[in-house]
Amino acid sequence: MSFQIKETPDSYDVIIVGSGAGGGMASKILSEAGLSVAVVEAGGDFDPAKDEDRTQLRPPWESPRRGAGTRIRPFGDFDQAIGGWDIDGEPYTRKDGTQFDWFRSRMVGGRTNHWGRISLRFGPNDFKRASIDGMGHDWPIGYDDLKPYYDKVDKLIGVFGSKEGIFNEPDGFFLPPPKPRLHELIIKKGADKANIPMIPGRLSMLTRPINNERGVCFFCAQCNRACQAYADFSAGTCLVHPAMKKGKVDLYTYSMVRKVTTDETGKATGVSFVSKVDMKEYKLKSRVVVLGASACESSRILMNSRSKVYPNGIGADSGVLGRYLHDSTGADRMGIMPELIDRDRYNEDGVGGMHMYTPWWLDNKKLDFARGYHIEYWGGMGQPAYGTGGSMDSMRKYLKDEFGNPSPNGGYGEGLKKDIRRIYGSTLGMSGRGESIPQYTNYCEIDPNVVDKYGIPVLRFHYKWTDQEIKQAKHMQDTFEEILTNAGATLLGTKPGADTMYGLAAPGRIIHEVGTTRMGNDPKASVVNSNCQVHDCKNVFVVDAGPFVSQADKNPTWTILALSWRTSDYIVDQLKQKNI
Amino acid sequence: MNRRENLKLLFTGSVGAGLLLTGCEPEQVAVQGQVITGGTPGGRTEEEKARDAKLLSENFFTDEEKKKLSTLVDIIMPADSESPSATELKVPDFIEFMMKDQPNMQTPMRGGLMWLDFEADELFGKKFIDLSKEEVIQIVDLVAWPDKATEAYSGGVRWFNMLRNLTCSGYFSTEAGWKYMGYMGNQANVWDGVPQKVLDKHGVSNPEKYAAIYLKPEERGKVAEWDEQGNLIG
């Protein structure tokens, strides 16, 4: 991690807060248009191609904790994402006994360093849900508005997949998908019996090169560690660093933005930030401010941007700043496949994610809940590391000797060692990731009593699932059991019931939170317009997932990228026309 | 990374696959010194470096506790004709580190190790480290079998489960552990699907529908081009 602190230059055309999917894309498009750009990032910079920053291909014995997670790397010691659910000195709070867990990554590329790289376009229905089921609200734009940008994102960044012709799962410009893994083929037998489709995954890894700057995937399954060949998408390697090489882009690292500064007319003049290196306050000036700090962090910055003109913060007069916060639903189930015990060995790492998945396949008119979910599958002969050989106190009984007698749970010795080898690669499972209904009553706001270590007021969350999401989770559990049982798997654990909301993950846990600066045509019901421009402060834009009116049963990243590109084009146009 | 460097990686992939075939010969016993000399490398923050260094400089276990631990981990993962013992793979050092890295494990671990002396005194009137191998096994058997253990030993069972889990983590996360497990990944390679004989054995096949579009390894170097409909043409 390198430090980079600069003396404040005169002024930039654009300041971008955050360097993840939204901010990264904006830095590329705006700098390519010839604009001078400052990217202000709360964490450090890194380059996975440099050995000092590389975690890819490091075996677990290079880690004294053998790859176990830590507070700032909860997904493992070699995970590239630095931050986590609980960042020292950067608290958040919750209200009325409700739960919301907030995952943040403090580094160039933001949470694109963490994500599963599942790259799904929203479909035509996903922009018009209220018209279909009467719940929530429609987006002011539709699929046709974003399609050209999805096309460009596919070609710029790269995604593998298969053309399927499914109406609400639009096809794109796909690279060749990898062949399935064994557990995926076995699960597919179960899915086929239940008439549930399984198609090749759509992930942003380069199975073939798309240009001469980035390499191709060499199948180590470690995209979450950042690729030294740049063969997967993260905003640092694919957007921010290329933009810095080509254009007028300055990167400010370890810089925590406090607020957007404004003049007496209400026009934004730049940002004020705290340097984490010297703990001093700095001001940067610009003609345009672009917020891409993540849905909640961007709304926090807007709320904290108080002044005479904006006594409650920028965008607050809409009455919906911070409101309609919503995350994807999530539930999982696991099984053990008897036919995979004692399986043959080969290198099954593959790409860093599933080779096959299930897009939403049912008609909600025939169901007791409103929105759909997709299914992600997992299993296989993954890298042995921290956790391997665990749970034999309850799992060993699934191993049978040549006479069909089950091994006793627990134990020790050569027999235990052999049983761990036999069971390796035989567990598998699936996760549902679904669409929730955005609620006015689910929100983040400024906690009046708590500040972070930079003296910046922090967010307080209030979030409750509704019957819609709970019923959807119940449907997921029924589906998971059907697929696993059909495939011949033995179910593990007990089926989550009503007492646990059918295993529905706590809000925030799927890390798809969106909606806090939602877009719309009515300035009294939306924070930004259909070009992601703040209604009451025309030279401030939001390019993360805050403007999402509804989060489809897709991962949000591809839509963040497409929207950010579209917003960036609009900014260039508006600057040319001298409207901002 | 430029194209030439990436080609090097591709090349490494094929070389790696070649090595992989010879790497399976049984006479290659991969017992490497698993000595922890420093914290985790690669993109660490200053706070992480400082924390790892601090944890590595501290001692949690007493010498006597370490002796007990060494006895137990070698009962859980002993040497056999194919693989070394847990102490040969420095599993106690790993557990020592984890006690400091995840301090919530300290009390149950220390409590379990102390209980050994209590039980040894009850049964044999000796300290645990003075017991014979058979006597040690008698005590371990009280807590090593969750479905058979009596209710009076439920706390001991929970402790031994934790110890078993930690021992296995420390064992299989080593080069020798990988070799025993038969793990072949963590290297550059080209995925071209499940080997045919494995597909046949399990009675499954790659979906015919996608045969034409699956990645062809020989086209992996070609820059992708599409027609306007999104069909891959180059």
Quote the DSSP letter at residue B217.
Answer: G
Report the DSSP beta bridge partners of residue A44. A107
Using pLDDT thresholds of 50, 70 and 90, give the confidence band for residue A554: very high
- Residues with Cβ within 8 Å of B45's Cβ and at least 6 positions away in sequence, in order, are A1, A44, A72, A82
Round to whole Å and give the CA distance between A251 and A37. Answer: 9
Average pLDDT rounded to a whole number, residues A236-251: 97
ipTM for the assembly = 0.95
User: Which amino acid appears at position B140 of this protein?
Assistant: V
Q: Is the pLDDT score of A5 beyond 80?
A: no
pLDDT digits (tens, 9 = 90+) for A460-488: 999 999 999 999 999 999 999 999 999 99
- The arithmetic mean of pLDDT across residues A97-108, rounded, is 98
Going by pLDDT thresholds of 50, 70 and 90, the confidence category of residue B10 is very low
Q: The tokens of A294 are what? A: 């993540």
User: Can you tell me the distance from the alpha carbon of A333 to that of A312, in angstroms, rounded to the nearest whole number?
Assistant: 45
Tally Cβ neighbours within 10 Å of residue A245: 10
- Over residues B199-231, the pLDDT tens digits come to 999 999 999 999 999 999 999 999 999 999 999
**Cα(B86)–Cα(B79) distance, integer angstroms:** 7
Q: How many residues does chain B have?
A: 234
Q: Which residues contact A9 (CB under 8 A, 6 or more apart)?
A: A250
Task: Report whether A162 contacts A180 (CB < 8 A).
Answer: no
pLDDT tens-place string over residues A447-465: 999 999 999 999 999 999 9
Gap between the Cα atoms of A147 and A432, Å rounded: 26
C-alpha A213/C-alpha A566 separation (Å) is: 24
Instruction: State the smallest CA–CA distance between residue A59 and chain B in angstroms.
Output: 7
Residue of A nearest to B32 (CA): A61
Residues A247 and A126: their CA atoms lie apart, in Å, by 35
Which chain A residues touch B40 with a CB distance below 8 Å? 62-65, 77-78
Q: Which two three-digit tokens encode residue B10?
A: 């591709």
Cβ-count burial of A364 within 10 angstroms (0-12 exposed, 13-18 middle, 19+ buried)? middle
| DSSP string over A140-189 | SS-HHHHHHHHHHHHHHH--B------TTS----PBPPPPPPHHHHHHHH
Residues A205 and B215 sit within 8 Å (Cβ to Cβ) = no
In chain A, the largest separation of any two C-alpha atoms, in whole Å, equals: 84
The model's pLDDT over A523-544, given as tens digits with 9 standing for 90+, comes to 999 999 999 999 999 999 999 9
- Are A516 and A296 in contact, with CB atoms under 8 Å apart? yes
Cβ–Cβ gap B172/A78 under 8 Å: no
CA-closest candidate to residue A408, choices A418, A393, A423, A426: A393
The beta-carbon neighbor of A55 closest among B42, B205, B207 is B42
- Asked if residue A35 has pLDDT above 60, the reply is yes
CB contact under 8 A, A346 and B147: no
Per-position b or e across A368-406, b if 16+ CB within 10 A of its CB: ebbbbbbbbbbbbbbbbbbbbbbbbbebbebbeeeeeee
pLDDT computed for residue B16 by the predictor: 33
8 Å CB contact of A162 and B10: no
Where does the pLDDT of residue B6 fall: very low under 50, low under 70, confident under 90, or very high at 90 and above? very low
User: Strand A329-336's sheet: what is its strand order?
Assistant: A199-200, A356-358, A373-379, A427-434, A329-336, A490-491
Model confidence pLDDT, tens digit, residues A559-575:
999 999 999 999 999 99
Token pair for B13: 């992939």
DSSP H helical ranges for A488-532: none
Q: How many residues does chain A have?
A: 580
Residue with the bigger pLDDT between B3 and B15: it is B3
Burial class (CB in 10 A: 0-12, 13-18, 19+), A23: buried
Considering only CB atoms, which chain A residues are within 8 Å of B163? none
| Helix spans in A167-323 (H) | 182-193, 235, 241-246, 295-304
Read off the pLDDT of residues B169-188 as tens digits, 9 standing for 90 and up.
Answer: 999 999 999 999 999 999 99
DSSP category for residue A124: G
Name the token pair of A230. Answer: 């740049």
Q: Does A162 lie at the interface with B, CB-CB under 8 angstroms?
A: yes
Among A57, A218, A356, the residue to mutate for chain B (most B Cβ within 10 A): A218
Q: How far apart are CA B14 and CA A214, in angstroms?
A: 20
Tracing tokens 């200053």 back to the chain, one arrives at B46
Residue in B190, B223, B194 with CA at minimum distance from that of residue A217: B190
pLDDT band per the 50, 70, 90 thresholds, residue A136: very high
Confidence at residue A8, expressed as pLDDT on a 0 to 100 scale: 60
Chain B residues with CB-CB distance to A422 below 8 A: none
Predicted confidence (pLDDT) at residue A510 exceeds the cutoff of 50: yes
Q: Cβ of A10 under 8 Å from any chain B Cβ?
A: no
Token pair for A48: 């996975």
Residue whose pair of structure tokens reads 């700090």 in the numeric block = A293
Give residue A402's pLDDT.
87
List, for residues B71-90, the tens digit of each pLDDT value: 999 999 999 999 999 999 99
Can you tell me the distance from the alpha carbon of A203 to that of A150, in angstroms, rounded to the nearest whole number? 14
Of B9, B3, B4, B5, nearest to B187 by C-alpha is B9
Rounded Cα distance between A146 and A124, Å, is 10
Which pLDDT score, from 0 to 100, does residue B21 have? 33
In chain B, which residue's Cα lies nearest the Cα of A159? Answer: B224
Q: Are strands A373-379 and A356-358 parallel, antiparallel or unpaired?
A: antiparallel
Say if CB A56 and CB B9 are below 8 A apart: no
Locate B126 and state its tokens: 């000796």
pLDDT at residue A380 is higher than 70: yes
Radius of gyration of chain A (CA): 24
Residue A258, pLDDT above cutoff 90: yes
Strands (E), A345-484: 356-358, 373-379, 427-434, 443-451, 457-462
Distance between CA B120 and CA B68 in Å, rounded?
12
CA atoms within 13 A on the CB side of A200: 29
CA distance A412 to chain B (A): 4
A283-306 pLDDT tens trace: 999 999 999 999 999 999 999 999
* Shortest CA distance from A212: residue in chain B: B3
Exposure string for A48-83, b = 16+ CB within 10 A, e = fewer = bbeeebbbbbbbbbbbbbbbbbbebbeebbbbbbbb
Q: What is the pLDDT of residue B37?
A: 59
Q: Which two tokens stand for residue B19?
A: 């090595």
* Neighbour count for residue B153 (Cβ, 10 Å): 19
In the DSSP assignment, the letter for residue A404 is: S
Query: Which of A15-29, A435-449, B10-24, B67-81 shows the lowest per-residue confidence on average (mean pLDDT)?
Result: B10-24
SS3 A426: coil
Which one is predicted more confidently, A353 or A7? A353
Task: Label residue B28 exposed, middle or buried (CB < 10 Å: 0-12, 13-18, 19+).
Answer: exposed
Beta bridge partners of A272: A259, A283
Task: Tell me how far apart the alpha carbons of residues A558 and A210 are, in angstroms, rounded to a whole number.
Answer: 17
pLDDT over threshold 70, residue A152: yes
Using 50, 70 and 90 to split pLDDT, how confident is the model at B38?
confident
Tell which A residues from 22 to 51 touch B, by Cβ distance under 8 Å: 44, 46, 48-49
**What three-state secondary structure class fits A290?**
strand
Q: Looking at residue A340, what is its pLDDT?
A: 98
